[in-house]
Amino acid sequence: MKTYRIATIPGDGIGKEVVPAGRQVLAALAKTSSTFNFEFEDFDWGGDYYRIHNVMMPDNGLELLRNKDAILFGSAGDPDIADHITLWGLRLKICQGFDQYANVRPTRILPGIDAPLKRCKTEDLNWVIVRENSEGEYSGVGGRVHQGHPIEAATDLSMMTRVGVERIMRFAFKLAQSRPRKLLTVITKSNAQRHAMVMWDQIAKEISTEFPDVKWDKELVDASTVRMVNRPASLDVIVATNLHADILSDLAAALAGSMGIAPTGNIDPERRYPSMFEPIHGSAFDIMGKGLANPVGTFWSAVMLLEHIGEPEAAARLMKAIEHVTANPALHTRDLGGTATTVQVTEAVCAYLAAHA
């Protein structure tokens, strides 16, 4: 019997509802398995922790997580605490501390979901967006001078390193190679940004020679939004910079039906450190504590977690349970136009897992 050590960090807002739901579903899965088990450890870091300790997580937080096989994360965000504190003090601290440089976001229209693209078939939209997660536009390099004076100025430099671009390109090509269509689209803006984006393009071309069986093309980020809407089937794996992928993946989530469904993984492909899986939605304080949060994004993130730790069969079983639930409108939460609660959806998934062991 293999035991996986999983850290759960609910964080803020509806993270406190969807992460326990995710843990419940993983436990239900383990209950029917004779080969693996989970040892969960829960960390109460986030806004409430900050109000007591003045930090979002303790100084030795990374040390406490280091020996875990994976992390299931909820959300960091609090209406009473500045965004840069909640974001940089917890989620990004873990992403950077564990060099989770590949942010992976699968997008599919699940059965029973009413998605906005009426002109395409459900199966036309089946993407994985790979977001560079460690540098680029969000590298934090910049400054602000002469505040309050007429000559005030500020910069945010997009810093791209050769090592950083090479490793994300290699990851994306490898991922494309592992999928049936072997198709990769590299998003760029090298027509307007003539330094870093030109290097980005150049390195894509260099890395492509290592993957002769992958068909790849380049697309300008602005044009790619039109292509996602008009020709979704022309895309499969998409690799983009930190900022570009941030925006494109929200568009992708909306095209797939709801923010509440979409999952993501912050991956250290070299497996030096634990990787972290989370729904893409935020803390959504407007619906917190009401039982309205859709837990499907967290469940799908748990599927990614299972694939990552090396349990693909369990991952496939959980994905089937999720699809069983989304196919039933009586089990849709409010964001999907239904009236089901977080608890009802969670119990339905657990019941399906127990019945289909």
Instruction: Draw the binding track, 179-218, toward ligand ATP (x: CB under 6 A; -: no contact).
Output: ----------------------------------------
Beta carbon of residue 281, minimum distance to Mg ion (angstroms, whole number):
7
Beta carbon of residue 75, minimum distance to ligand ATP (angstroms, whole number):
5
- Distance CA(185)–CA(169), nearest Å, equals 11
Beta carbon of residue 208, minimum distance to ligand ATP (angstroms, whole number):
35
Residue 235 · residue 127 · CB < 8 Å: yes
Which residues have CB under 8 Å from 249's CB, separation 6+? 105, 107, 129, 131, 262, 264, 280
What does 74 interact with, of ligand ATP, Mg ion, none (CB < 5 to 8 A by kind)? Answer: none
Residue 232: how many CA atoms within 13 Å on its side-chain side? 25
Restricting to residues 237-296, name those near Mg ion by CB under 5 A: 282
Residue in 121, 66, 72 with CA at minimum distance from that of residue 98 = 66
Which residues have CB under 8 Å from 280's CB, separation 6+? 105, 249, 250, 253, 259, 262, 263, 264, 297
- Distance CA(284)–CA(164), nearest Å, equals 32
Q: Tell me which residue has its CB nearest to Mg ion.
A: 282
Residue number, 239 or 292, with CB nearest to ligand ATP: 292
Q: Of 251, 285, 291, 338, which lies in the binding site for ligand ATP, with binding defined by CB under 6 A? A: 285
105 binds ligand ATP (CB under 6 A): no
Residue in 251, 241, 228, 229 with CA at minimum distance from that of residue 196 = 241
- Distance CA(11)–CA(15), nearest Å, equals 6
Q: Helix crossing, 342-355 with 15-31: angle to 10°?
A: 10
What does 10 interact with, of ligand ATP, Mg ion, none (CB < 5 to 8 A by kind)? Answer: none
Instruction: Draw the binding track, 292-311, toward ligand ATP (x: CB under 6 A; -: no contact).
Output: xxx--x--------------
Q: Of 117, 287, 305, 345, which lies in the binding site for ligand ATP, with binding defined by CB under 6 A? A: 287
φ/ψ (deg, to 5) at 189: -150, 40
Q: Which stretch binds ligand ATP (CB under 6 A): 88-96, 137-145, 170-178, 283-291?
A: 283-291
Restricting to residues 317-356, name those near ligand ATP by CB under 6 A: 333, 335
Q: Which stretch binds ligand ATP (CB under 6 A): 150-158, 169-177, 200-208, 277-285?
A: 277-285
Render 264-332 in DSSP notation, one character per residue: EEEE-TT-SS-EEEEESS---TTTTTTT----HHHHHHHHHHHHHHT-HHHHHHHHHHHHHHHT-GGG-
What does 26 interact with, of Mg ion, ligand ATP, none (CB < 5 to 8 A by kind)? Answer: none
# binding residues, Mg ion (CB under 5 A): 1
Q: Which residues bind ligand ATP (CB under 6 A)?
A: 14, 75, 77, 259-260, 281-287, 292-294, 297, 333, 335
Q: Which residues bind Mg ion (CB under 5 A)?
A: 282
